[in-house]
Amino acid sequence: MSGKTLYDKLWDAHVVRSEEDGTALLYIDRHLVHEVTSPQAFEGLRLAGRHPWRTDSVLAVADHNVPTTDRRHGITDPVSRQQVETLDENCRVFHITEFRMDDTRQGIVHVIGPEQGATLPGMTVVCGDSHTSTHGAFGALAHGIGTSEVEHVLATQCLLQKKSRNMRVRVEGKVASGVTAKDIALAVIAEIGTAGGTGYAIEFAGEAVRALSMEGRMTLCNMAIEAGARAGLVAVDQTTIDYLKGRPYAPKGALWEAAVAAWADLHSDEDAMFDREVVIDAAEIRPQVTWGTSPEMVVPVDMAVPDPDAEPDRVKAESMRRALEYMGLKAGMPITEIAIDKVFIGSCTNSRIEDLRAAAAVVKGRHVADNVKLAMVVPGSGLVKRQAEEEGLDEIFIEAGFEWREPGCSMCLAMNADRLEPGERCASTSNRNFEGRQGQGGRTHLVSPAMAAAAAVAGHFVDVREF
Amino acid sequence: MRAFTTLTGKVIPLDRANVDTDAIIPKQYLKSIKRSGFGPNLFDDWRYLDPGEPGMDNSRRRPNPDFVLNDPRYAGGSILLARKNFGCGSSREHAVWALDDYGIRAVIAPSFADIFFNNSFKSGLLPIVLDETEVDALFAAVTATPGYTLTIDLEAQAVSTPEGRRFYFEVDPFRKHCLLEGLDDIGLTLQHADEIRAYEAKRRQEAPWLFAAE
Ligand code: SF4
């Protein structure tokens, strides 16, 4: 019998019972909750007279609707305010820990979980949010769920699941300087497509993945969902352990020692079998820029906007045409000639301290170009913000003409006041370039923090390796 | 949950691949704390020419005449036909609620995004995967035939065309059972509460750090 993959191990350790057709009741160790996808779940509990099974497994935070400017006056949009207040109230009534808007620990749910050590190796982690895949960077089985499932997990501590298939993406060799985890993620999506990972859990492996910091691994796993996979995974190693040590929710003392010993097994066995394996040469990866309205519509920065006429697949060519029209671009145009109106550095993909350091290093001593109407940095959490301020990054950004904001999802999906106006073009470090994602009619180009920073200074996309 | 057994309904052809959940129901409508009322804003950005905000009177907005939902031919349709990777993007179940609220009971496509697929069953919306060639054939038939209807039989796992063709689809036995009976997942799971407690007790021994709060 062949060995087990990391996914197999995590799955097997959490099965409470199985139905004949393979549907399993999977035990959930950590449940993260935010304001957008939870109100109907709490309402469901209330209507059925049910209670949360294990409140100490739940951690809640409001992130999607919160303003990124002065918070002293609360949320002005009454609908957004009601949603945040509903979360506050549900957490109060059901005795759930919540980092409220005025708490320094508040931030994007996928940033604060790991930051607090609330995400641990070997856990199952769920959240009513597709980017829960982020937490897989810790060797945890983590994926997004819908609101009915949020209610199910609250009520039963379990999830009804069918096992996914195993895929491994090995990124072998070293990436060139200026090439980041974001570029690896986009290059993987370019390779397998946005539906390539559908039905799979993707384990990211190989020398270039091992070399990534935890921040980088989180960026990579974060975008597993853009590749179609509900869960991304990276095996546990010393980098994982060093990151977690001493974090508030991480175990302490003897418990920590026992945990670290158990985590040594959280990797795929040598002889484990994968249903699909993809190998990518790290040295080939160049800084990536999306040109269309799906993350798979992406090319290296030194290339041109592709031509739909050269695409043999009719449905694909049609989507390309529609995307070019929406994006206001012409086939054959060099990526570096695309001028931008706004810059957004933030989101659960790229708002951690390392991302901000990378962007600050590019803008230091330079200034945002005149044609750029707004360049903003939105740290992923209050703690990331404080750390950045201790390092003086805020001043670098402000001197360069950036706005330095309060933490939250912000212009990643524009549920708060931060958004693109119709036709505006944005260099964004977020994860989705769908039509209207950052504001109706807005045009999003996904890039790494360093690439976004360089674009802010130049006023158009540039190759950060030559900047 | 509402049960799903058989359905005969008009088909709405949405000839696009990678229809994402942001397109199905744009973010501004996610601020609602209810499960219903999303139907008028289904595909909002494509459906109306003017920007929409929650609380607007949609009857006063300008419909986009080129969008399929505004084509009188497909009015009252309850089966949506789409291309591959339908429902990709976010986990928002609001996408399913919006389709449901509009009156869509089944979506047929060559493939679906995992989370959307899963969410659909929770509201009694049936996602049906057919081959790309079968989907092509259906698109051709729908556009050529005004008032084109299909009949879906979940028990038989079949989609029948008016010309008498039958396309078979897969569905997990467990999901099929829940859908046919209209069963509540949570109630079902809670029947196994003792097993969950036993698992929990074992895990507390094996991996106590998973149960240590801050
Ligand atoms: S930052 Fe963006 S992708 Fe991440 S949780 Fe918030 S809205 Fe979702």
d(CA A243, CA A253): 16
Mark out the alpha helices in B63-113 (DSSP H runs): 94-102
Q: Put the strands of the sheet holding A124-127 in their side by side order.
A: A97-99, A58-61, A30-33, A124-127, A141-144
Are residues B114 and A156, on separate chains, in Cβ contact within 8 Å? no
Are residues A25 and B115, on separate chains, in Cβ contact within 8 Å? no
pLDDT tens, position by position, A313-323: 988 999 999 99
A357-383: average pLDDT: 98
Are residues A83 and B93, on separate chains, in Cβ contact within 8 Å? no
pLDDT tens, position by position, A24-43: 999 999 999 999 999 999 99
Structure tokens at A196: 């390539």
Residues of chain B neighbouring A325 (CB-CB closer than 8 A): none
Give residue A7's pLDDT band: very low, low, confident or very high (50, 70, 90). very high
Distance A97 CA to ligand 1 centre (A): 21
Please report the pLDDT score of residue B213 as a whole number.
64
Whether chain A has a CB inside 8 Å of the CB on B93: the answer is yes
Q: Mean pLDDT, chain A, as a whole number?
A: 97
Please report the pLDDT score of residue B209 as a whole number.
96
Stretch 119-178 of chain B: residues touching chain A, C-beta under 8 Å: 119, 122-123, 172-175
The minimum CA-CA distance between B114 and chain A, rounded to whole Å, is 6
For B119, the closest chain A residue by CA position comes to A146
List, in sequence order, every residue forming a beta bridge with B151; answer none if it has no partner. B8, B160
Task: Measure CB to CB from residue B212 to each of A86, A228, A255 and give the nearest one.
Answer: A255
> Phi, psi at residue B54, to the nearest 5°?
-60, 145
Of chain A, the percentage scoring pLDDT greater than 90 comes to 96
Q: Give the CA count within 13 Å in the CB-facing half-sphere of A450.
A: 21
Please report the pLDDT score of residue A20 as a whole number.
86
- With a cut of 80, say whether residue B77 has pLDDT above it: yes
Please report the pLDDT score of residue A36 as a whole number.
96
**By the 8 A CB rule, do A108 and A127 touch?**
no
pLDDT tens, position by position, A258-267: 999 999 999 9
Please report the pLDDT score of residue B214 as a whole number.
57
pTM of the entire predicted model: 0.96
- ipTM exceeding 0.90? yes
**By the 8 A CB rule, do A446 and A223 touch?**
no
Are residues A160 and B203, on separate chains, in Cβ contact within 8 Å? no
Structure tokens at B129: 């995967």
Task: Count A/B contacts: CB-CB distance under 8 Å.
Answer: 198
Of chain B, the percentage scoring pLDDT greater than 70 comes to 99
A217-242: average pLDDT: 98
Residues with CB under 6 A from ligand 1: A 63-64, 108, 110, 129, 131, 347-348, 409, 412-413, 430-431
pLDDT tens, position by position, B12-30: 999 999 999 999 999 999 9
Residues of chain A neighbouring B212 (CB-CB closer than 8 A): 251, 255
d(CA B46, CA B65): 10
Are residues B31 and A259, on separate chains, in Cβ contact within 8 Å? no
Structure tokens at A381: 């959490």
Q: How buried is A408 (Cβ within 10 angstroms: 0-12 exposed, 13-18 middle, 19+ buried)?
A: buried
Residues in Cβ contact with A292 at an 8 Å cutoff, skipping those fewer than 6 apart: A298, A319, A320, A323, A324, A327, A433
Identify the residue whose C-alpha is closest to ligand 1 atom 4: A348
Helix axes A109-116, A214-222, angle to 10 degrees: 140
Task: Measure CB to CB from residue B33 to each of A39, A77, A152 and give the nearest one.
Answer: A39
Residue of A34, A110, A218, A384 to mutate, ligand 1, most atoms within 8 A of C-beta: A110
pLDDT tens, position by position, A444-457: 999 999 999 999 99
Whether chain B has a CB inside 8 Å of the CB on A47: the answer is no
User: Best interface-test mutation with B: which of A198, A202, A311, A424 has the largest number of B CBs within 10 A?
Assistant: A198
Please report the pLDDT score of residue A11 as a whole number.
98
For B177, the closest chain A residue by CA position comes to A21
> Within chain A, what is the greatest distance between any pair of CA atoms?
64
Please report the pLDDT score of residue B1 as a whole number.
79
Amino acid identity at B23:
A
Task: Measure CB to CB from residue B115 to each of A130, A413, A415 and give the nearest one.
Answer: A130
Please report the pLDDT score of residue A237 as a whole number.
98
pLDDT tens, position by position, A385-427: 999 999 999 999 999 999 999 999 999 998 888 999 999 999 9
User: Best interface-test mutation with A: which of B43, B50, B62, B90 has the largest number of A CBs within 10 A?
Assistant: B90
Give the β-pairing of A24-27 and A158-161: antiparallel
**By the 8 A CB rule, do A380 and A107 touch?**
yes
Residues of chain B neighbouring A194 (CB-CB closer than 8 A): 18, 85, 88
pLDDT tens, position by position, A67-112: 999 888 899 999 999 999 999 999 999 999 999 999 999 999 999 9
The minimum CA-CA distance between A366 and chain B, rounded to whole Å, is 35
- With a cut of 70, say whether residue A189 has pLDDT above it: yes
Please report the pLDDT score of residue A70 as a whole number.
85
B72-94: average pLDDT: 96
A284-309: average pLDDT: 98
Residue of A131, A226, A418 to mutate, ligand 1, most atoms within 8 A of C-beta: A131
The minimum CA-CA distance between A170 and chain B, rounded to whole Å, is 23
d(CA B214, CA B212): 7
Please report the pLDDT score of residue A71 as a whole number.
87
Mark out the alpha helices in A275-428 (DSSP H runs): 314-327, 353-363, 382-390, 393-399
A164-183: average pLDDT: 98
N- to C-terminal Cα separation, chain B: 37
d(CA A114, CA A368): 32
Please report the pLDDT score of residue A412 as a whole number.
96
The minimum CA-CA distance between B164 and chain A, rounded to whole Å, is 27
Please report the pLDDT score of residue B166 as a whole number.
97
Structure tokens at A127: 């959240």
A161-169: average pLDDT: 97
Residues of chain A neighbouring B35 (CB-CB closer than 8 A): 40, 43, 147
Distance A436 CA to ligand 1 centre (A): 15
d(CA A26, CA A28): 6
Q: Give the CA count within 13 Å in the CB-facing half-sphere of A352.
A: 21
pLDDT tens, position by position, B139-194: 999 999 999 999 999 999 999 999 999 999 999 999 999 999 999 899 999 999 99
Q: In ligand 1, which atom is closest to the CA atom of A431?
A: 3
